[in-house]
Structure 1
Amino acid sequence: MILFSSNLESIPPWLQLASVAVWLSLVNLSAWGVHRFFKADPEIVRKIVHIGTGNVILLAWWLNIPAIAGITASIVASSVTLLSYRFPILPGINSVGRQSFGTFFYAVSIGILIAWFWHIQQPHYAALGIVVMAWGDGLAALIGQRFGKHKYKVFGGQKSWEGSFTMAVVSYLIISLILLSVQGSVWQTWVISLVVALVATGLETFSFLGIDNLTVPLGSAALAFLLTQLMAS
């Protein structure tokens, strides 16, 4: 059962990169439109960018974009983000109402995962880690803030059980779909998906300074890869 195909090597490199640029432009245009015309809460606008940007890793996988392009983009994004904490380059980054390096960690995690899994020709694990962070964490934050009635604290940070449940369910669906696309509907797919989803949810609860934007994608991708290798041996 193949849900996705990454056999698109015939697409010219310039068209691959143009596709990514168009997608990022659409994401930012959507965020601007929601803010400008619907007066949405800044957190909603941030999550639109958070989720939309994360989906770039799927384009990189499906279009077989060279690792050097992804790594370079990660370095540039990380550098700009660091500068934005000192200078008002990207004022939205510091509008979360708390000190956070989440955007910086997000960019770094993309570069690390591309460097790792493109090198061993297993790009779907990089996609798994980033998309779990993008959709799982993004929706968990929105659901938790809107419907989170049952709160709990971890190292001073407040979470909700509703948000954590959302993180677990969304992560499980994402991991299952990606693993189904490469290894089919075997029992290992469902077991790995469940274990990784629960671990990702646990990592997401430790979100001080935005560190979960690093631990969730790296941890999810690494654990899925490790479990797959162990179960295949």
Structure 2
Amino acid sequence: MSDSLFWLKSWFPVSLWFPLSVVSLFLLSILLLAEGLSRFTSMSGELTRKVVHIGTGNVILLAWWLNIPPILGISAAVIAGCIALISFFLPILPSINSVGRRSLGTFFYALSIGILIAWFWPLGQPQYAVIGILVMTWGDGMAAVIGQQFGKHPYQIWGNNKSWEGSLAMMLMSFLVTSWVLLTTVDNHGLVWLTGLLVAIMATSLETISKLGIDNLTVPLASAFLAYLMINF
């Protein structure tokens, strides 16, 4: 028993128990909420998936504020990716994939979180990982919600059906979250606004032309990389 306790403390010191508990409870509550909405309400599968999409994406803020070690974030992303793949082939979690179309978007979402944490946490600049994930979380999430509920002006690119209302919602949210995060770390406000605008345009463009959920990978990585280049070089 003492050996087991020693192993547990060496991998998960007491200082990590609180942030791990907060993150775990947050993710569990989002998943339970989405599953409840999916199984016991008439809410569409796409909307319940967006509850998961927007809710779980904000875990990157907890990881940043609680200074969670990168290995834990990467491990959580790997586990989430595996669950997403299983749910893609087996309908165990309808709130993840019940959107009437086959997509690996949730898997790419988890993959992007793992890559960005592995990339920017060791550099001591986690804010760029936060930007990448939040652009996808709020930009793409609100694009879908606004587009479905209020999209009155549709357009099509490469077989993708979009609406101007949804695309403008993504551009606005991408600009806001990018600018908000950068304002906490960068003094040059003019550069912050310019970076936010460029990230918003690029993210919206990538989301518009993407297929099979690949935007859940390309949008976060490209947004984080562009913001990093603009501010550092």
TM-score relative to the length of structure 2: 0.89
SS in 1 for 2:22: helix
Write the deviation string for residues 98-124 of structure 1: whole angstroms up to 9, x where unpaired: 121100100000000000000101001
How many angstroms does 1:152 deviate by?
1.2
Amino acid at match of 1:202: S
Give the C-alpha shift of residue 187 in structure 1.
Answer: 1.1
Of the three residues 58, 61, 67, the one matched with 2:61 is 58
Aligned to 2:124: 121
1:109 corresponds to which residue? 112
Q: Of the candidates 122, 136, 141, which is equivalent to residue 138 of structure 1?
A: 141
Alignment partner, residue 45 of structure 1: 48
Contact 2:147 2:162 in 1 (8 A): yes
Give the structure 2 partner of residue 164 of structure 1: 167
Give ranges in structure 2 of 5+ residues lacking alignment.
1-13
2:98 to 95, 98, 105: 95
CA radius of gyration, larger in = 2
- Is 35-44 or 122-131 further displaced after alignment? 35-44
Matches of 1:88 and 1:141 in 2, distance apart?
22
Give the root-mean-square deviation of aligned CA atoms. Answer: 1.6
Matched-pair contact (CA < 8 Å) for 2:45–2:94: no
171-180 or 38-47, which deviates more: 38-47
% identical equivalent positions: 56
Match of 1:26 among 12, 26, 29: 29
**Displacement, 1:75?**
1.1
Moved more, 201-210 or 110-119: 201-210
Determine the structure 2 residue equivalent to 1:147. Answer: 150
User: Which residue in the other structure is 2:216 paired with?
Assistant: 213
The CA deviation at 1:32 is: 3.6
CA 35–159 in structure 1, closer or farther in 2 if over 3 Å, else same: same
Structure 2 Cα separation of the partners of residues 13 and 120 of structure 1: 21
Q: Is the 8 A contact 2:35 2:94 kept in 1?
A: no
Residue number among 174, 179, 186 corresponding to 2:189 in the alignment? 186
Q: Which residue of 2 aligns with 1:77?
A: 80
Give the corresponding residue for 1:6.
Answer: none
TM-score by structure 1 length? Answer: 0.89
Structure 1: runs of 5 or more not aligned: 1-10
Deviation digits for residues 78-117 of structure 1 (CA, Å, limit 9, x no counterpart): 1222222223333443311112110010000000000000
Q: For residue 33 of structure 1, report the CA deviation from its aligned partner.
A: 4.3
Equivalent position of 2:8 in the other structure: none
Residue 182 of structure 1: SS of its match in structure 2? coil
